[in-house]
Chain A
Amino acid sequence: MKTARGYLLPVTLFAVPLLLALIGPFFASGDTTKDVPFDANGRLGTDFVGRDVWNEVLLGGRSLILVAVAATICTYVVAVPIGLIAGMTRSRGLDEVLMRPLDLLLAVPSMLMLLLLVSIAPQSVWLLVGVVALINLPDVIRISRAAALSLSARPAVEAMRLQGESRIRIGLGYVARSMRRTLAADVGTRFTGATYLIASASFLGVGISPQASDWAAMVDRNRGGLFVQPWAVVVPALLLVMMAVGANLVFDRMLRGTAR
């Protein structure tokens, strides 16, 4: 009972923006007639070009979530194999070749990298996905390498080796499978990190088309009307903060639940 109550606040915080983002677009009206800009009447009033703010809120969360999920998946697809190889290999040279370039990635602040790569190259969603995945890469590679390293020192792995199992079979069949829990514990952090980066980029107007409905972009574009029509700014900002706080608390609870 106590655990259920402990979940109530985090899950509510997380679920409200998440559901709004995912199913909101089904309830949004396609009616894009423009009214007076920054009109405070009506449900949530209108935005800087006179669009209905509630309708924009319904539309504006989905792309953020989808891009963040895609970026997180890409990170793992690339990082786990690299970490697995680096952790399992007995050749120090290969380990160095795989791990050294990560030191270079860490030399560039992540927001700077995002701003440079995404704004200079031609605009596309996949580029944004790729850059966010790249920024998260070093951490996930290090985590999977550390996990693979400690797993492949286990007696079970030694026994399999002595039995003549191939390295690929040991790697995929035993080490990779045993890494699941370590990696699962880390997914939450990567997802919230990716969401943070993508939202901040959209706020700066990077990687997003000028017409797109997006919570982060709404905060930026409607800032000028903060004194007249605060809802157009406050509602999307509040949803973004709720989602970040809720996601962190939910993932943390889940982690502590499995650790017990």
Chain B
Amino acid sequence: MTRYVAQRLLLGVVQVLVVMTGMFFLTEALPGDAAVTIAGDNPDPAIIAALRDRLGLNEPAWHRLGDWLAAALHCDLGHSLIGPRSVADIVADAAAPTVLLAGLTVVLLIPLSLGLGLLAAHREGSRWDRLITGSTIGLYSAPEFAMGILVVTVFAVQLGWFPPTAVGTSLAGNPAVLVLPVFVLLLRPICSLSRLVRAGMIDAQRSDYVQHARRIGLSPVRIRLLHALPNALAPSVQQLARTVDWLVGGVIVVEAIFVVPGLGTTLAAAVAARDLPVVQGLAVLLAATTVLVNLLADIAARALAPAAEGVR
């Protein structure tokens, strides 16, 4: 186990480093650089050359990559090309709404998908099972923005139950604003997770050890929750980690629909304005989060079902 954890940790560090290097060279390969962007409407070659000198852009690429990586380790991600603020400041300001949205989604996601999965697996082929399985298969890859806009049209515009956007309110102070975005964010991960829980439970209930537990007369509830469930959960834990991937995508889209000033809107704006330091900083942050969550999930899955060797 210790060896596995060490190996996974090493892989995680390598992943983050490679992503950072990749980001650096991707922006390096683009036409123009920070000096040209800052010079903007005043593309005087002399000014650009002076800016390059001041920003250290004339040093060799690998040298600057080293500087950038070293600075990033100290949470210094450079300065925005537009406006006076540092990337770390911008990210810190935008993080709160996103963390609230994503965190709330994950907190609700786990009990909901467990409940739905267990309900569907309770009796295979029952009406509940067909209803849950059918809707989770169908809605699995419905784009969030389309679902989001339909939900807004029905519940905000027609029925007026919830506000259509988060404009002018703080998310934390007004829970009604959160209902629709979190609902939309939940849809996709719930579909995949509850299906995995269902499949895992059905498999586990057919397995030898559950048959044996039945024969020696353990209560069905005990068999289900104490014996079948932990084994059924191992694949779900890893899938839970992969939902981080979807949450990142979902958050970008959902923040755009509901006009939430979070990391997604910041990223979209920075990409549109070609504010590369901000884009780089956010990309590194999101990639590092993904790597970390996957790392934790792999270790947790390994602890839950040690027999499932080789599952990565």
User: Which chain A residues have a beta carbon within 8 Å of chain B's beta carbons?
Assistant: 103-104, 106-112, 115-117, 119-121, 192-193, 195-196, 199-200, 203-206, 216, 219-220, 223, 226-227, 230, 233-234, 236-238, 240-241, 244-249, 252
Bin chain B's interface residue count. 35 or more
Q: Knowing A109-B286, A200-B249 are in contact, say whether A245-B139 is a contact too (CB < 8 A).
A: yes
Q: Which of B18, B140, B253, B286 lies in contact with A112, CB distance below 8 A? A: B286
Cβ distance B37 to chain A, nearest Cβ, rounded Å: 13
Chain B contacts for A117, CB-based, 8 A: 26
Known A-B contacts: A107-B290, A204-B268. Give 13 more (CB < 8 A).
A107-B15, A107-B18, A112-B267, A112-B286, A116-B23, A196-B142, A206-B271, A234-B153, A240-B146, A245-B142, A248-B138, A249-B134, A252-B137
Chain A contacts for B274, CB-based, 8 A: 120
State whether A120 touches B286 (Cβ < 8 A). no
Cβ distance A33 to chain B, nearest Cβ, rounded Å: 27
Q: Knowing A103-B15, A109-B287 are in contact, say whether A120-B30 is a contact too (CB < 8 A).
A: yes
Cα distance, A17 to B86, chains bound together (Å)? 46
Chain B contacts for A109, CB-based, 8 A: 244-245, 248-249, 286-287, 290
Cα distance, A80 to B9, chains bound together (Å)? 30
Chain A contacts for B149, CB-based, 8 A: 219, 223, 226, 233-234, 237
Chain B contacts for A216, CB-based, 8 A: 143, 145-146
Q: Knowing A111-B248, A226-B153, A230-B157 are in contact, say whether A199-B294 is a contact too (CB < 8 A).
A: no
Q: Which of B14, B15, B142 lies in contact with A244, CB distance below 8 A? A: B142
State whether B291 touches A107 (Cβ < 8 A). yes
State whether A226 touches B164 (Cβ < 8 A). yes
- Considering the complex, give the chain A residue whose CB is closest to the CB of B249: A111
> Which of B138, B145, B146, B152 counts the most A-chain CB atoms under 10 A from its CB?
B146
Cα distance, A95 to B198, chains bound together (Å)? 33
Instruction: Tell me, yes or no, whether B211 is within 8 Å of chain A by CB.
Output: no
Q: Which of B27, B140, B290 lies in contact with A248, CB distance below 8 A? A: B140
Q: Knowing A203-B143, A203-B253, A234-B153 are in contact, say whether A108-B19 is a contact too (CB < 8 A).
A: yes
State whether B30 touches A237 (Cβ < 8 A). no
Q: Knowing A107-B15, A109-B286, A200-B144 are in contact, say whether A115-B267 is a contact too (CB < 8 A).
A: yes
State whether A193 touches B141 (Cβ < 8 A). yes
Map CB proximity to A onto B237-280 as digits: 1 under 8 Å, 0 otherwise.
Answer: 00000001100110011001100000000011001101000010
State whether B146 touches A219 (Cβ < 8 A). yes
Chain B contacts for A196, CB-based, 8 A: 141-143
State whether A107 touches B272 (Cβ < 8 A). no
Q: Which of B27, B150, B245, B249 lies in contact with A234, CB distance below 8 A? A: B150
Q: Which 4 A-B pairs have the closest CB atoms?
A: A111-B249, A109-B248, A245-B138, A107-B15
Chain B contacts for A115, CB-based, 8 A: 252, 267-268, 271
9 contacts between A and B (CB under 8 A): A104-B14, A115-B267, A115-B268, A192-B141, A216-B143, A223-B257, A237-B147, A247-B141, A248-B140
Instruction: Tell me, yes or no, whether B91 is within 8 Å of chain A by CB.
Output: no
Chain A contacts for B153, CB-based, 8 A: 226, 230, 233-234
State whether A241 touches B252 (Cβ < 8 A). no
Chain B contacts for A112, CB-based, 8 A: 248-249, 252, 267, 283, 286-287
> Which of A115, A119, A234, A249 counts the most B-chain CB atoms under 10 A from its CB?
A115
Cα distance, A244 to B18, chains bound together (Å)? 34
Chain B contacts for A245, CB-based, 8 A: 138-139, 142
Cα distance, A111 to B253, chains bound together (Å)? 10
Cβ distance B20 to chain A, nearest Cβ, rounded Å: 10
> Which of B23, B147, B271 counts the most A-chain CB atoms under 10 A from its CB?
B271
State whether A199 touches B16 (Cβ < 8 A). no
Cβ distance A114 to chain B, nearest Cβ, rounded Å: 8
B residues 147-164 in Cβ contact with A at 8 Å: 147, 149-150, 152-153, 157, 164
Cβ distance A147 to chain B, nearest Cβ, rounded Å: 16
Chain A contacts for B290, CB-based, 8 A: 106-109
State whether B287 touches A107 (Cβ < 8 A). yes
Cβ distance B141 to chain A, nearest Cβ, rounded Å: 4
Cβ distance B42 to chain A, nearest Cβ, rounded Å: 24
Instruction: Tell me, yes or no, whether B308 is within 8 Å of chain A by CB.
Output: no
Chain B contacts for A121, CB-based, 8 A: 30
> Which of B141, B142, B152, B290 counts the most A-chain CB atoms under 10 A from its CB?
B141
Cβ distance A169 to chain B, nearest Cβ, rounded Å: 30
Chain B contacts for A205, CB-based, 8 A: 272
